[in-house]
Amino acid sequence: MDLLEAHQAGPEDGKVLNCLDIPLPRSRAPHPGLSTDSHAYATTEGLWTADRNHAYPSLDWGLIGCNDAHHYWHVDVNGVATQVLVRCGVKLWFLARPKPGCDFASTDFFLNNDIHDTTNKEWDVEVVVLRGGDELYMRPNTPHLVITAESAVCRGGYLICYTTIRETSYGLFHCAIQNRVITNVAEFNEALFLVRRLVMYWVHAIPGSE
């Protein structure tokens, strides 16, 4: 209700509220080509005693932001890729693209550069305008900034994909070292669980991988 009132009051009189990470039950089918985590989970179910009773986690969330709400530069937690679908409103998604000589895999990069510095010279910025019905898939370990240009309702989720598993491993490592500095979620252990299942899948389902 506070969000609705703030939206209706408008940008001059209202508060700028941004409600992130509203937990949602899993309602979308896993992307058949991108959600390697889902495939690995199903394939390795029951193989490891410690994980046997661990249900497949919901990686979905909702997002409601009033006009002008913004979220400063960060990477999403623990090497996950991100999918977001804008239901209504407008989101501006600023994506960092490393310039030559800049490497987001490097620990030195995140230790020596302030990710929150809006004048960062190490990367170019690509801006994606997302309107109602638009959907974005973002690679893991991508610094990004988000501005709500018009009050927006979104639903999204995390996934782990084998084609970007290198970026996932970089993101996992960076978050292990600098979690509270470079990301916006205190902890997300479900990502670690799914990575374990991917490793099991690799070992058990792919001949010769031992």
The minimum distance between CB 74 and Fe ion, in angstroms, equals 6
The minimum distance between CB 9 and Fe ion, in angstroms, equals 26
Name the residue nearer to Fe ion (CB basis): 178 or 204.
178
What are the angstrom distances between the C-alpha of 30 and each of 10, 26, 41, 58, 160? 37, 9, 12, 11, 11
How far is it, in rounded angstroms, from Cα 120 to Cα 83?
25
How far is it, in rounded angstroms, from Cα 142 to Cα 17?
24
Residue whose beta carbon is closest to Fe ion: 76
Provide the binding-site residues for Fe ion, judged by CB under 5 A: 76
Nearest to 168 by CA among 180, 159, 156, 177: 159
Name the residue nearer to Fe ion (CB basis): 76 or 167.
76
Q: How far from chain centre, in Å, is Cα 164?
A: 13
Name the residue nearer to Fe ion (CB basis): 18 or 202.
18
Q: Are 139 and 167 in contact (CB under 8 A)?
A: yes
For residues 24, 28, 33 and 37, what is the CA-based torsion angle, rounded to 10 degrees?
A: 40
The minimum distance between CB 182 and Fe ion, in angstroms, equals 11
Name the residue nearer to Fe ion (CB basis): 30 or 156.
156
The minimum distance between CB 160 and Fe ion, in angstroms, equals 16
